[in-house]
A and B are shown apart, each in its own frame.
Chain A
Amino acid sequence: MILPFVVAGLVLGALYALSGVGMLVLYRTTGVLNFGYGALGAMSAMLAWQFAELRMQPVLAYALGILVATALSLLFGFLAGPFLATVTTLTKATATLGLALILLGVMLFAWNDKARFLRLATDTIGFQLGTRITVTQIICLGLATVIVIGTSLYLRHSPTGTSMRALASDRELASMLGIRVRRVELLAWAVSGALGGISGILLSSQTRLEPLFLTFIVIPVLAAVVVGRFKSLVGTLVGGLVIGVVQAVASAFPSTSPFSNATPFVVATIVILYLQRRKVVTIEVSR
Chain B
Amino acid sequence: MTAITARSVVTLSIAALLAASLVGCVADNAGAGNAGGNTSKSDLKCGLGNGKKATGDPIKVGAIATASGGVDFSSSPNSSKAYFDCVNDNGGINGRPIDYSFKDDALDPTKTAQLAAGYAADTSIVGLVGDATFIGCDVANAEYAKANLYSITGVGVPQACFHSSNIAPVNAGPRQSAIQLLQWLQKEGKADKVFQVGLNTQGNGDWVAAGINEYAKANGINIVGTELSDPTESNWLPLIQKIKDSGATSVIIVDPGPITAAILAAVEQQDARGTITWTCTASCYDAQFGSQIGAYWDGFVANSELQLVDSAGTDNELWKSVMDAYAAKDAPRDTFSQAGFLAAKIFTDALLKLDPKNITRDTVSTALLGVKAYKSDLLCVPWYYGQADEHNANHSTRTAEIKNGVYTKLTGCIDSGDPALTSILANEKSEGLVG
Residues of A within 8 A of B (CB): 1, 4-5, 8, 51, 55-58, 60, 63-64, 67, 71, 74, 112-115, 117, 119, 123-124, 126, 131-132, 134, 159-160, 183, 186-187, 190, 207-208, 213, 248, 251-252, 254, 257, 260
User: Does residue B271 face the partner (Cβ distance < 8 Å to A)?
Assistant: yes
Say yes or no: A132 contacts B237, CB within 8 Å: no
Interface string of B291-320 (1 = CB under 8 A from A): 000000000000000000000000000000
Nearest CB of B to A215, in Å: 14
Is there contact, CB below 8 Å, between B269 and A160?
no
| A186, B68: Cβ atoms closer than 8 Å | no
Q: Using Cβ atoms and an 8 Å threshold, which residues of chain A touch B16?
A: 63-64, 67
Cα distance, A159 to B1, chains bound together (Å): 8
Say yes or no: B237 contacts A74, CB within 8 Å.
Answer: no
A55 pairs with B235, CB closer than 8 A? no
Look across to chain B and name the residue whose beta carbon is closest to the beta carbon of A4.
B237
> Which of B257-265, B396-404, B410-418 participates in binding chain A?
B257-265
A74 touches B4 (CB 8 A): yes
- Inter-chain CA distance A124–B1, complex, in Å, is 40
Partner of B20, one of A60, A134, A187, A190: A60
CA distance A58 to B237 in the complex (A): 27
Measured in the bound complex, the distance between the Cα atoms of B241 and A251 in whole Å is: 11
Q: List 9 A-B contacts (CB under 8 A).
A: A112-B68, A113-B68, A113-B69, A115-B72, A117-B261, A187-B4, A207-B235, A248-B235, A254-B242
Selected from A60, A132, A159, A260, the residue in CB contact (under 8 A) with B271 is A132
| Complex partner residue of A71 from B13, B20, B27, B261, CB under 8 angstroms | B13
Q: Which residue of A lies closest to B244 (CB)?
A: A1
Knowing A112-B68, A126-B269, A134-B269, say if A208 contacts B234 (CB, 8 Å): yes
Q: Do B234 and A55 have beta carbons less than 8 Å apart?
A: no
Q: Is the CB of A132 within 8 A of B270?
A: yes
Specify which chain A residues have a CB less than 8 angstroms from the CB of B19 in the assembled complex.
60
Q: Kindly state the interface size class of chain B when it binds its partner.
A: 35 or more
Contact with A along B25-62 (1 / 0, CB 8 A): 11110000000000000000000000000000000000
Return B137 CB to nearest CB of chain A, in Å: 21
Q: How far is the CA of A1 from the CA of B243 in the complex (A)?
A: 13
Chain B residues 59 to 101 lying within 8 A of chain A, measured CB to CB, are: 67-70, 72
Contact B235 A123 (CB under 8 A): no
Residues of B within 8 A of A1 (CB): 241
- Residue contact A56 to B237, C-beta cutoff 8 Å: no
Q: For B26, list chain A residues within 8 Å (CB).
A: 55-58
Q: How far is the CA of A134 from the CA of B259 in the complex (A)?
A: 21
Question: Across the interface, which residues of A come within 8 angstroms of B262, CB to CB?
Answer: 115, 117, 208
8 additional contacts (CB under 8 A) given A56-B25, A57-B26: A1-B241, A113-B68, A115-B258, A183-B4, A207-B234, A207-B235, A248-B237, A257-B238
